[in-house]
Structure 1
Amino acid sequence: MTLPAEGIFLRSGDGLAVLKQTAYDSEAILQTALAQYPEFIAGPTTTGDDEARLLLIRREMQVPGGQEKQGAFSLDHLFVDAEGVPVLVEVKRSSDTRIRREVVGQMLDYAANAVKYWPLASLQQSLAQTAAERNASPEELIEELHPGVDPDEFWRTVETNLKAGRVRLVFVADKLPEELERIIEFLNEQMNPAEVLGVELQQFTGSQHTVYVPRLVGRTSGAVMTKSGGAASGRQWHYESFFAAAEGRCSPAEVALMRRLVDDVESRGQRINWGRGITPGLSGWYRIDDRPAGVWSINANNESPSTRAYLVLYFADLLPRLGVERIEKAARRLEEIPPLMQKIQDARHSGWKKYPSLYLADVAGDQHKEQVLVDAIGELLAEA
């Protein structure tokens, strides 16, 4: 068999399957692939998050053209990432002549109007439609995207990002023209906190296989430097920086509870994993059955008065390690904290496949509730 000079060579048993680059039959096929598999465009961003995940809000998302012009434009896809950043996606095949310059003006038009006029209720309603089509609830989809986050807090973060212009604009094509690549790189180096990226998504097919190969455009060293100095960039938190930030946005009682939980981890000879993100975060790792495991995490949230610090318990992650009995034992203690009762019941109903969360303000300063929380963590660590 004569093999082509270019392509993907897939070993299948003792044979070799050859996958050749093929054009998409239609733009709709490429759009459908993105809606089903957003991982194609959820990779590295300018700020370096290489574990990003995306949630599809809606295909053909209506964008207002002004305060009195709701639904004036139609965006190919609207996603949101785990940090509540709206991701606007326009898809074009390379055979479409509009892919060179017209699509850039179109995208900037969408972004400018979305940031100024998009009502949060429109995004929430659109996700509700998408969730219904998947036989799920919006809360379940948000949970999959960001385990443990409170849906109301999540939407407030989305709204905050929109108002601040913290959005990601992504151009997707089977082949990105060089002219468009240069425009993307230029815009991404100049714009902040907004990001502008391109994803070239080539398709390789064979008799039984289809392989998609994405290539990111726009993450230049200049763009990384531009974003790293701005408010949109993530950062590596540590003890001093975390508590300095927490003291500026949380009550003294909340900060004292954070310190108590950090001390609890360290007193057991285990470790704190300091977060890397826009908002100050950390997670408590303990040794369970001779292996380290994340048990809880804390996020001090942003500086907006409408947001609050919260704690997440990783029941879903711990279930395979601990089993139902140990999770149940800790959960019964946590039910003594009224704001956690319903969330514990929901987690129990799901077979402990959820991540119960709690606002620190609902516990901080109450000695009994704080002790219940610490004791419940101890129940998770105690061998049956």
Structure 2
Amino acid sequence: MDTQGKLTLVECKLAANPQVHREVIGQVRDYASRMWRMDVDEFERVWRRTDGGRISPFEELDDQDGRIRTAVKENLASGRFNLVLAVDDLNDDVKRIVEYLNAVTVATTGVIVVEFTHAQDGDVEILIPTAYGTDLVEAKSAATVAGVPTWGEEDFLAWCEANDPTATPLILEFLDALRSAGFQIAGGRAQTPSLNCSITSPHGVRWPVALYTSASSKEASAKVEVRFPDYRRQPEVREALAQRVETIPGIPIPVDLVRQSDFRKRPNIPARDFTAEQLRALPTAVAAAIRG
């Protein structure tokens, strides 16, 4: 399960097994059919039981506003899964099966096979993955995304006016500050208006900031998110990002909590919890950290 609520099911088989061509497909489809229409609460209970009683997967992904849970609920209800066949020998028969399944399944279901080759050097053992079918899945996904409307800034601001009017002037300040700091603002494809903000770094284009809208029975709010988890495996960048953000006086982003979670948390904070000064300073701080 990823931070977008997308679900991936994996079946492992030895390709040398003569039954693999029949069994692997049947088993992974069996897994998918069992999860199809599963209640999200039951999914969470099964996950925790299988994972030795650890915390909820939604807590691990810091799903503060329930966006991930909602996406998982919808994916379970509609049976939208990615299916991965993990084998030790990527032969032509398995490739043919993957090509066929991607051709006949709906666009929201992708099928990939991953071959794991074993290598050993002394006491060091390595599994080297080789994937097949990713281009087919990406092509299917692109065709689906093309039919999904993209939100614009006007949509985001209109939502704020209707649901969180105190956020509107703050969001306007933030968008202006983002552009001044060199960010490009692109519309998102979430269920409710969202925006994704990119900036060019020495290592390419990065997307460290996002704006979301969220409505529940308790509240409706426009939210600002700095994507700390995207930089978990880049110690210098993630720490620079944390340090730059926490130097903004009174910033409501809980940087200490992010550090304690080993940068797994991605707090999304209501825009109305910020001051205009903080929102003007945030893009410059993030840009400086990402650009180094």
TM normalised by structure 1 equals 0.55
Q: Using CA pairs below 8 Å that are at least 6 residues apart, which structure has the higher relative contact order?
A: 2
DSSP 3-state at the match of 2:89: coil
DSSP 3-state at the match of 2:85: strand
Tell me: CA distance 1:84–1:255, structure 2 relative to 1, closer, same or farther (3 Å). farther
- What's 1:199 paired with? 114
- What's 2:225 paired with? 312
Q: Which of 121, 134, 143 is matched with 1:219 structurally? A: 134
Instruction: Give a deviation string over 1:139-171, Cα, whole Å, max 9, x none.
Output: 66325xxxxx53632222211222233210111
Q: Distance in 2 between matches of 1:293 and 1:87?
A: 25
Structure 1 gaps, min length 5: 1-79, 144-148
- What's 2:178 paired with? 265
Tell me: CA distance 1:228–1:345, structure 2 relative to 1, closer, same or farther (3 Å). closer
Aligned residues: CA RMSD? 4.4
Residue 242 (str. 1) matches residue 152 (str. 2) = yes
Residue 230 (str. 1) matches residue 149 (str. 2) = no
- What's 2:234 paired with? none
Residue 120 (str. 1) matches residue 40 (str. 2) = yes
CA contact (8 A) 1:333 1:376 kept: no
- What's 1:88 paired with? 9
CA contact (8 A) 1:286 1:295 kept: no
Q: Which of 251, 264, 274 is matched with 1:334 structurally? A: 251
Instruction: Give a deviation string over 1:49-87, Cα, whole Å, max 9, x none.
Output: xxxxxxxxxxxxxxxxxxxxxxxxxxxxxxx12321111
Q: Distance in 2 between matches of 1:286 and 1:101?
A: 47
- What's 1:158 paired with? 72
Tell me the percent identity. Answer: 20
Tell me: CA distance 1:139–1:158, structure 2 relative to 1, closer, same or farther (3 Å). closer
How far residue 263 of structure 1 moved from its aligned partner, in angstroms, is: 0.9
1:61-100 to 2 correspondence within 5 Å? 80-100=1-21
Q: Which of 12, 25, 30 is matched with 1:109 structurally? A: 30
Tell me: CA distance 1:178–1:255, structure 2 relative to 1, closer, same or farther (3 Å). farther
CA contact (8 A) 2:64 2:267 kept: no
Paired residue type of 1:243: E
Q: Distance in 2 between matches of 1:119 and 1:378?
A: 39
- What's 2:276 paired with? 371
Aligned residue-pair number:
269
Structure 2 gaps, min length 5: 232-236
How far residue 94 of structure 1 moved from its aligned partner, in angstroms, is: 1.8
